[in-house]
Structure 1
Amino acid sequence: MKDKLTCYIIEDEYLAQEILEEYIRKVAFLELKGTFVNPLEAAAQMADDKPDLLFLDINMPDLDGLSFIPMLNPKPLIILTTAYDQYALKAYDLEVKDYLLKPFTFERFYKGVLRLYQEQGTRPGPEKKQGKTETKPEQEYIFLKVGHRIQKVATHDILFVEGMKDYLRIHTTTEKIMTLLNFAKLEELLPAQDFARVHRSFLVAIDKIDHIEKNRIQIADQLIPISDTYVEGFYKLLKGLQ
C-alpha cells in the first residue's frame, strides 16, 4: 500500500478550496500537491506531477470538470465536488470514484478517501467482485402476508416496490401485491445485490431497469425518481456490478 496519495484540488470557489485543504490536512495518508481555480491552470503541472487523486469541481469558467476528465492521460483517481446531483449519471460514465455533494462533512469526505486509499493497497480490484459473486445467496422467493393469507412471491418477478404509507405495493410482472410491511424488513428478505433503494418511496429490481435518464429510472411503463438521499449509493452499486 502507498504511504500517501498525492492530490490536487481544482475548485474556483475560495471557501470550498479552504474546506478541502483543511480536510486534506487532517488525513495522514493524503498529501496536497497543488490547488487551482480551473483545469487549464492545473493541466501543465499535472502532466509533471501525475497526482494520484484529483478533487474536481464541475461548474467552472472556461472549462467544466466533466469536459476536462476525458482529456486526462494518465487519469488519476477522481472525486467530484459539486452542489448539483444531476451530474451523477455522467460521472458514473466517466468512471469517477466518488461524488461529494456540497456541503459535505469531514466524515463523508474521510469515508470516501479512506475507501480509495484501501483500494490502492488491495489491487487487483476484481477479487472483491469475485468474492461478492461467490457469496451471492440464491434467494428465489419470499413469503409475504397479504390480507389473511401468506403469499409466495418469486423475487425474479418483482419489478419495483412502492411505499404506500403503512403498506408496500409490490409490482411484479403479473400483478400488484399489497402487504403490511416496511422497506427495512423487506430489504432484509430480498437478495441485496439484486435490489436497490432509490427513493424514500421506491425500491427497484436492478435487472428490470430499462434505462436511466436525468436521475429517473424506466421500468416497464413506470418512471421512478432517484432522490438526492440515494443517488450516490445507487450509482456506486451499479458500478460495482460491472
Structure 2
Amino acid sequence: MILKCIAVDDEPLALDIIEDYIAKVPFLELVKRTENAIEALQMVQAGGIDLVFLDIQMPDLTGIQFLKIASGKSNYILTTAYSQYALESYDLNVSDYLLKPIAFDRFYKAVEKVRNQMQKEEVVLPVVETPQNTVAAQDFIFVKTEHKIQKIQLDDILYIEGLKDYISIFTKNERIITLQNMKKMEETLPKGEFIRVHKSYIISLDKIESIERSRISIAGKIIPIGDTYRDEFFKLIEGKNV
C-alpha cells in the first residue's frame, strides 16, 4: 500500500525536513508540498489524498481550522512546535501529533500507524463501487475571498470566469471573487458536473440553457466554446443525449 501525501507548512525549512523524511519511507509518496493551506484544503476536498502532514500555526487558515473544514476526508499528522493544541487535535481524530524538531524514528512510527490502520480498514470494509469508480461526490467547496473563507454549494454555481490574477465564481445569487487559477479550480470541481469550455470559462453542465454553434447560454450569459475544448465538450454533451 502506497500512501499519497501532502505536506502543509508556512516554513520552507520544515517542508524540506518532511519531504526528506517522506523520501526515505518506501510506502509514502509526496504528491505536493505547499505553504498555502487553502490550496491543500482544495486538494483534500477533491479526494485521493491519504495522509496530510499539517502545521498548526499558519496564516489565513490554522491547522485546527483546516481539520474542522475538511471534516475527516483524509488522515492527518500534525507537525508543530506547540504542544498546547494536542488535546483539541485528538478531539478532531488526528492520527498523530509530532512536536518540532521531529526525529525520523518518531516520524516513521507515526506514518506506520496510519498505514496499519488503513490496511485494517481495507480488510474490514467492502469496496463500494460508484458509477465512475470515484469517491463519494462532494457537494461544496471552500474558497478564500478578500476578507474570509467562503463555502460555496456546487449546485449554486452557474459558471466560472478566469481573469488575469483572479477568478470570478458566478452563482445563482452572487459573484464571488477569489485569488485562484483556472487549472486548480478545474481539478477541484467534480468531473461530469463541470467542464472547461474555454481558457477563461468553466461551466456547470446542468445550468446550460442552450447551445448554438460555438456559444453556450447560461442565465443570460453567452459563453464561447474555445477550439481547444470543443471536441471534448461536444463528446460529453452527445453522451448525455437520450
TM-score normalized with structure 2 length: 0.48
Higher RCO (CA < 8 A, seq sep 6+):
1
